[in-house]
Amino acid sequence: MIRTTDVVIVGAGPYGLSCAWWTACANPGISITVLDEGDFACGGIGRNAASMRMQWGLELNIKLCKESIAFFEEADRHLDYPRGIDLKQAGYLLLAHDEAALTQFKTNHELHKKHGVPSEILSAEECVKMVPLLNAEALLGGSFCHKDGNASPFLWLDALYRAARRYNVKICMATRAERIVPQGNHLLVVTNQQQEISAAKVLLCTDWAAPQLLQTIGLDLPITAMPKQGLVTEAWPAILDPVIISFKHDFAVSQVMRGNILAVVAQDRPDGSDVRTTTDYLSFAARQVLDCLPGLADIRVLRTWGGVISKTPDMQAVLGPTEVPGLYIAVSAYKGFMTSPAVGRIMSEAMFADSVHPDAAPFGADRFKTGELIPEPMTV
Ligand SMILES: Cc1cc2nc3c(=O)[nH]c(=O)nc-3n(C[C@H](O)[C@H](O)[C@H](O)COP(=O)(O)OP(=O)(O)OC[C@H]3O[C@@H](n4cnc5c(N)ncnc54)[C@H](O)[C@@H]3O)c2cc1C
């Protein structure tokens, strides 16, 4: 059976649903179908730490996250979601344990000022005053922005899902896109549900899995999958205000609104899409966290969990058209929660404009051919 629709979006994570909502808002009467092979929040969004920061070192990321955080602040109103998304804006404190990191923070700070990001450089003493749980040993200082924070990824996705449905976006779960076939000036999306959907525009929001579908239409982009793990503790009274990032320890640690502490600590593992957690992760991650935040020692861990992130050669998102007319892509490179509001807008415009907006153009897939990579110095 072949069905026709104006736009097919593959993937109902935050990218897919944000793009669907923005596209529906901007194009009244348009028909949009979103396909997801799994169930609600089954991708990276259901396995992430849902933190957001404007404190980046690259203007592109600063702009993307500034716009997104402004949207998160009013998500209840924008998306008609009165319950809210459990936004906790208690800031991000980035820690410097060496001169190079501190110098980078100072360079970033100048860029932040230019873009109206209210970051400040703190001395080691000021960091410890703000977070008494910190180990002051070898700490040189930090960078803080009170607008950064975290939220609930499930509430965020639920808000997007309901808002998109209100615009009559058709969301088909348990429906896998198997391949994409050019068909005149349309693209045919072949699914595992004995259904083929023909659309003028198809947008892939399948994150690390994007190459699987791209290959079916002869495209090869350097997007790979990397396992990532985290640990979560029991809920605890408010003890940790800002999200803590330590480049020395390669982690982000935060306390979410309902009291649990989340730690996403990088561990060397081969690339791949294995969502299992490794047997040595708990002891490895706990050591890293307690070395930096010894004041958390009494809190009991509930469990560890695993997820998969998308990787690109410069660890930046891939946003925009592909070489195949009508086929678009939005892949997050490990910032897909915090950038999803702005990416939805960018992609809704990219799909209907003659050219991509200059702010978004550097994220285009063509950079892998031209070599114009856009590496970000503040990646953990
Ligand atoms: C441990 C961990 C911590 C993280 N912490 C943060 C953080 O603090 N902040 C942040 O911004 N990001 C974080 N991330 C990254 C973030 O989760 C991702 O960037 C984000 O989920 C990407 O959103 P997405 O919509 O592109 O993809 P996803 O959320 O992965 O959704 C993609 C969807 O596509 C579907 N799909 C795939 N292939 C097909 C197909 N062929 N047909 C139909 N459907 C398909 C999947 O089922 C899935 O539902 C973290 C990730 C992990 C694993």
Q: How far is the CA of 336 from the centre of ligand 1 (A)?
A: 7
336 lines ligand 1 (CB under 6 A): yes
Flag whether 29 is in a domain. Answer: yes
Looking at the structure, tell me whether residues 172 and 301 fall in a common domain: no
Residue 310: CB atoms within 10 Å: 24
Bin 105: left if φ > 0, else alpha if -120 < ψ < 50, else beta: alpha
For residue 9, the model assigns a pLDDT of 98
Flag whether 329 is in a domain. Answer: yes
Q: Which atom of ligand 1 is nearest to the CA of 308?
A: 53
Q: How deeply is 283 buried, as exposed, middle or buried, from its count of CB atoms within 10 A (0-12, 13-18, 19+)?
A: exposed
Q: Give 63's Cβ-side CA count (13 Å radius).
A: 12
For residue 259, the model assigns a pLDDT of 96
Q: Whose CA is nearest to atom 20 of ligand 1?
A: 336
Comparing CA positions, the residue from 182, 223, 282, 203 lying closest to residue 33 is 203
Flag whether 61 is in a domain. Answer: no
For residue 376, the model assigns a pLDDT of 93
Question: What are the residue ranges in the chain where pLDDT is below 70?
Answer: none
CB-based contact 224:311 (threshold 8 Å): yes
For residue 1, the model assigns a pLDDT of 79
Q: How far is the CA of 324 from the centre of ligand 1 (A)?
A: 24
For residue 52, the model assigns a pLDDT of 98
Q: Which atom of ligand 1 is nearest to the CA of 150?
A: 8
For residue 281, the model assigns a pLDDT of 97
Q: How far is the CA of 58 from the centre of ligand 1 (A)?
A: 22
Range of the domain at 235: 89-148+224-311
Q: How far apart are CA 71 and CA 60, in angstroms?
A: 17
315 lines ligand 1 (CB under 6 A): no
Residues in the chain: 380
Token pair listed for 251: 């982690």
Looking at the structure, tell me whether residues 357 and 294 fall in a common domain: no
Looking at the structure, tell me whether residues 210 and 359 fall in a common domain: yes
List, in order, residues 6 or more apart from 96 with CB less than 8 Å away. 102, 104, 105, 139, 140, 141, 142, 143, 247
Flag whether 37 is in a domain. Answer: yes
Looking at the structure, tell me whether residues 117 and 205 fall in a common domain: no
For residue 176, the model assigns a pLDDT of 98
pTM of the model: 0.98
Among 295, 311, 327, the domain-final residue is 311
Q: Whose CA is nearest to atom 19 of ligand 1?
A: 336
For residue 121, the model assigns a pLDDT of 98
Domain at 8, CATH number: 3.50.50.60
DSSP E strand boundaries for 64-214: 92-96, 119-123, 141-145, 149-150, 170-172, 177-183, 186-191, 196-204
Looking at the structure, tell me whether residues 178 and 299 fall in a common domain: no
Looking at the structure, tell me whether residues 13 and 34 fall in a common domain: yes
Q: How far apart are CA 245 and CA 265, in angstroms?
A: 10
Among 311, 338, 359, the domain-final residue is 311
Looking at the structure, tell me whether residues 194 and 235 fall in a common domain: no
Flag whether 333 is in a domain. Answer: yes
Q: How far is the CA of 207 from the centre of ligand 1 (A)?
A: 6
307 lines ligand 1 (CB under 6 A): yes
Please tell me the total count of domains within the chain. 2
Looking at the structure, tell me whether residues 199 and 266 fall in a common domain: no
| Mutate-to-test residue for ligand 1 from 17, 18, 37, 275, highest number of ligand atoms within 8 A of CB | 37
Enclosing H/E stretch for 246: strand 243-246
Q: Which atom of ligand 1 is nearest to the CA of 338?
A: 11
Flag whether 77 is in a domain. Answer: no
